[in-house]
A = this chain, B = another copy of it.
Amino acid sequence: MSKYKSLKEECYEANMELNALGLVIYTFGNVSAVDRDNGVFAIKPSGVPYKKLKPSDMVILDYDNVIVEGDLRPSSDTKTHSYLYKNWENIGGVAHTHAMYSVSWAQAQRDIPIFGTTHADHLTQDIPCAAPMADDLIEGNYEHNTGIQILDCFSSRNLDYNEVEMVLIGNHGPFAWGKNAAKAVYNTKVLETVAEMAYLTLQINPNAPRLKDSLIKKHYERKHGKNAYYGQ
């Protein structure tokens, strides 16, 4: 029996949840889960429909994309996942989708402004939309370079991946992460919801103001601050 059985199961469950939440059609998404002790992560195999997916189909790789276990080809976006795991040591899961509203903001090449408390309950910043990559980066090691693009975006904007657990890649779509795969999926759903709310807000009032700082701080702190009183 595989020593990665529970890791594969965590990864499998998170992928199935992505589908159950309506965030993917066909095979347009992938979730991975990391095992920091063993320096490996599990990821969805490429192009396998959800209804045929089994926990044992998950592919195990190290952070240099060497397959450690698994008979199937891993997700075509694997190198973006591994780059994030290698560089961001606190994250435990990564999710990528082509969810409708997130993709539409990415195609519009716009950051999602922080308009309300639903957003501030999760992060204090606009959701960043990284610029499309330079041609040579696209033509080169594309998925690896997508990881670089994400880190460059966070670096140039002084964003902390421990707080901002989501990003849009211009013209492509969202990546989200978190302490484990389930949290990465949760953040993907939150991003999609906030993206739809921001879209509708601008339709109703093109001059809708950004959320004021005091409300941003209050809502973020009551859920994530040291005196947080949300949850059990």
Contacts and interface: CB of A to CB of B under 8 A. Distances in A.
A192 to B, nearest CB: 9
Contact of A142 (B103, B203, B218, B232): B218
A139 B221 CA distance: 11
Contacts of A115: 107, 171
Q: How large is the interface on A (under 10, 10 to 19, 20 to 34, 35 or more residues)?
A: 35 or more
A158 interface: no
Interface string A9-36: 0000000000000000110100000000
A107 B202 CA distance: 9
Contact of A231 (B73, B106, B138, B139): B73
Which of A45, A107, A214, A223 gathers the greatest number of chain B CB atoms within 10 Å? A107
A182 B175 CA distance: 30
Nearest to A120: B171
A101 B196 CA distance: 9
Given A25-B189, A173-B116, A193-B25, A214 B138 contact: yes
Interface of A: 25-26, 28, 45-48, 72-73, 76, 98, 100-101, 103-110, 115-118, 132-133, 135, 138-139, 142, 171-173, 186, 189, 193, 196-205, 208-209, 211-212, 214-215, 218, 222-223, 229-232
8 contacts: A103-B118, A104-B201, A107-B116, A107-B208, A109-B208, A118-B173, A132-B215, A138-B218
